Structure 1
Amino acid sequence: MSFNGGWYPSGKTSIRASAKGQQLSEFLEQLNIKEKVKGGEFNFDIRLFCDCAPWNINLNDITGVVGMNVKEGVFTDKDPNIGRILSLLNIKSIAKRLKLNVSDITEKGFAYDDIQANLTIGQSLAKIEHFILNATSGVIELTGQSNIVGEEYDMKAKVIPAVGDAVPAATALAGGGLIGLGVWLADEALFEGKLIDSIMGEILEFEYKITGPWDDPIIE
């Protein structure tokens, strides 16, 4: 981890911190954040500014950018916030209904392949410029913002289940059983699969609104 900063004649304070490693869980434990994640190769870059003296910094006055990239980790069931969001986003039941791969979702947590995020900080808000979580069971995209002073969410989430096998997913959407299989076969023969592909492209996206306090978010 590297950390540096400056206090300039104009009165502005700047802070830059960057960190990278192979175990996000171990890094967070050093910050007294324990048991909420496991594993995870990570790379963080944080650049913050404040029109104030270093000893007079407060969250209301901070501006800046935050970038992160994390690979192959697990959000554990010890994290009530992330765990609740992932649970209420219902990706597991969506994937199960369509007979998709949900091996990354267990009672002990949610495993992901990678997370890429970029945030801008200003006026007490952390605004999401880009956030995407990739996992075997699907993709979660977040937009919106979070109040870092009031500790409240105002975000939207898009859940896109991964269709690893088009046949069970397509037949499930077409009614299941032999009828669903027949519809899928007819589409493949007559329309080269384009009809169901276009329908699935529209149906297999689920959008949610996330509001409320960090410790008890409302998802609808």
Structure 2
Amino acid sequence: MPLPVSRGDVEVNLGGRTALRVRQQAGRTGVRVELGAARAPAPPPHGLVAGGRADRLDAIGWIGLARAAASGPTDAGSGGLPLRQVDVHAGRLELLGGTFPDGRVSVQPAPAGALAVRVQGPALQGSLSVPAGGATVTGRFQRVHWRTASAGTPAAKGPDGRTRTPAADVAGDPRAAPGSVAPAAGAAGAGIDPARIPPLSLDIADMRVADATLGAVTFRSRPTAAGLRVERLQARARDQAIDVTGAWTGRGTAARTHLVAGVDSDDIGALMQGLGLGGRIAGGDGNMHVDVGWAGSPGVFSLAALEGVLTLDARDGRLLEVEPGAGRVLGLLSIAELPRRLTLDFRDFFAKGFAFNRIQGSVRFADGQARSEGLRIDGPAAAIAIRGHADLLRERFDQTIEVRPKTGNLLTAVGALAGGPVGAALGAAANAVLSRPLGEIAARTYRVTGPWSDPDVQVVDERSARPVAAGKPAGG
């Protein structure tokens, strides 16, 4: 810093991470901010210019900074610092809980005090018009491929040797503070007052959340005295339609999000798998209705903090035996796992899953628990009823599953579903070998307890109402 200051530039180096250069001349001040550098280039004669590159960047923070600069006094005698340009790159661009790799944010002043914002990157491409005052912010995006910041966390091996999807992939980290549903300090959106967010009108041509393709999206919101109201969030793809309304109220520890969503899909299993909530269902034509809320902003969604209900009605699909994951919360313990733990081993006949004609019921979320309410599965081979709950914090089961085989040649039906004509032939052969067809076996009730990764399945002796150990398959 030269003395007197008016005779030269003031330069600041913050550990090589950010450099600042300020020049005052003839009552005018120019400022240059350069990210990822030890020295900033020469500042403009008057106003603010920001550039450079950072490993991580908060897009909302920089847009807010630019808006504050653009709305301030701009005449030379007032001491204001008008915005000239913001053009910053980030290895990871963060926006309300979402992460976009290799992103770029550029902001330019526009007429009437507005800002022209452009975001670019492989997962985010589009533009925003941010007017002065509280007028509507409009946006047009070619693509928004949204993932949570934790989605890149590598999967870990569970005690059974299977690859285990971290709970953080879909829920932040619900196990970090068992029983707590308050948003953590510094969580996405925690410091934002939703009542101060102007009306939003956004149109997205290609919207993806995690691995789910949602198609064209229309979003409309407006501020209220309590926060922000989602008037319309509509997603349309070739095989599904999603409609959402909701609200975001309060800020900090008082923040809360409430959403009501309806989903009609020709392939519910694929949609849930893409969102990180599946892996238990393949196919299925039907609908879901969700009415849920959680503490915090929309950016701190946590499966373990949900309160509300999910209702499912799907037809013509299969229940799969796959690695454990978030799909467990639906109470859909793979029916294919049950026969492997009984005296008779039917794994070959269930190898491709349990076909169902219809799944119908609901799951209620509260206090870190997902409780099955009237969840029924009707298939060609059997009718199944599930009751009980899954502990989302500790990832444990406490459920009862009642299986009522359909009358007739069950193994033949299951074989046909599993492998076509060859499977049907195997099923017929098995029926001939067994002393009695499976269709003649009485209904069985199973108790499923213990961790998601390795649940304990026992047959309940209906005569004594006591569980009888069913055993586990070799190596399982």
TM range (shorter): 0.5 to 0.7
The Cα of 1:215 is off from its aligned counterpart by 2.1
Equivalent residue number for residue 444 of structure 2: 206
Question: Contact conserved, 1:59 with 1:149, CA < 8 A, in 2?
Answer: no
Equivalent residue number for residue 121 of structure 1: 365
Distance 1:164 1:26 in 2: 32
Q: Deviations over 1:33-69 (max 9, x none)?
A: 7875432102111111234444455445431011001
Matched, 1:21 2:265: yes
Matched, 1:219 2:460: no
Q: 1:158 to 1:44 in 2, by over 3 A?
A: same
Distance 1:49 1:35 in 2: 24
Q: Given the alignment, which residue of 392, 399, 402 partners 1:148?
A: 392
Q: 1:58 to 1:36 in 2, by over 3 A?
A: closer
Matched, 1:5 2:246: yes
The Cα of 1:135 is off from its aligned counterpart by 0.8
Q: 1:70 to 1:86 in 2, by over 3 A?
A: same
Q: Summarize the alignment of residues 98-177 of structure 1 with structure 2, pairs less than 5 Å apart.
A: 105-164=349-408
The Cα of 1:134 is off from its aligned counterpart by 0.6
Indicate the SS of the match to 1:117. Answer: strand
Structure 2 residue runs of 5 or longer lacking an equivalent are: 1-241, 410-434, 459-476
Question: Contact conserved, 1:89 with 1:159, CA < 8 A, in 2?
Answer: no
Question: Contact conserved, 1:85 with 1:217, CA < 8 A, in 2?
Answer: no
Matched, 1:50 2:294: yes
Question: Contact conserved, 2:280 with 2:334, CA < 8 A, in 1?
Answer: no
Q: Given the alignment, which residue of 334, 338, 342 partners 1:89?
A: 338
The Cα of 1:146 is off from its aligned counterpart by 0.6
Whichever of the two has the greater Rg, that structure is: 2
Distance 1:90 1:163 in 2: 18
Distance 2:309 2:276 in 1: 23
The Cα of 1:120 is off from its aligned counterpart by 1.1
Letter of the structure 1 residue corresponding to residue 396 of structure 2: E
The Cα of 1:131 is off from its aligned counterpart by 0.7
Letter of the structure 2 residue corresponding to residue 153 of structure 1: F
Indicate the SS of the match to 2:272. Answer: helix
Q: In angstroms, what is the RMSD of aligned CA positions?
A: 3.4
- Identity %, equivalent residues: 21
Q: Summarize the alignment of residues 179-198 of structure 1 with structure 2, pairs less than 5 Å apart.
A: none
Distance 1:36 1:206 in 2: 22
Question: Contact conserved, 2:336 with 2:353, CA < 8 A, in 1?
Answer: no
Distance 2:367 2:278 in 1: 29
Q: Deviations over 1:6-35 (max 9, x none)?
A: 023585421122211112243235325787
Which has a greater percent of helix?
Answer: 1
Letter of the structure 1 residue corresponding to residue 248 of structure 2: W
Q: Given the alignment, which residue of 312, 319, 326 partners 1:68?
A: 312
Size of the aligned set, in residue pairs, is: 178
The Cα of 1:159 is off from its aligned counterpart by 0.8
Question: Contact conserved, 2:286 with 2:315, CA < 8 A, in 1?
Answer: yes
Indicate the SS of the match to 1:118. Answer: strand
Q: 1:39 to 1:162 in 2, by over 3 A?
A: same
Structure 1 residue runs of 5 or longer lacking an equivalent are: 97-101, 166-175, 178-199
Q: 1:38 to 1:62 in 2, by over 3 A?
A: closer
Letter of the structure 2 residue corresponding to residue 26 of structure 1: A
Question: Contact conserved, 1:85 with 1:219, CA < 8 A, in 2?
Answer: no
Question: Contact conserved, 2:319 with 2:334, CA < 8 A, in 1?
Answer: no
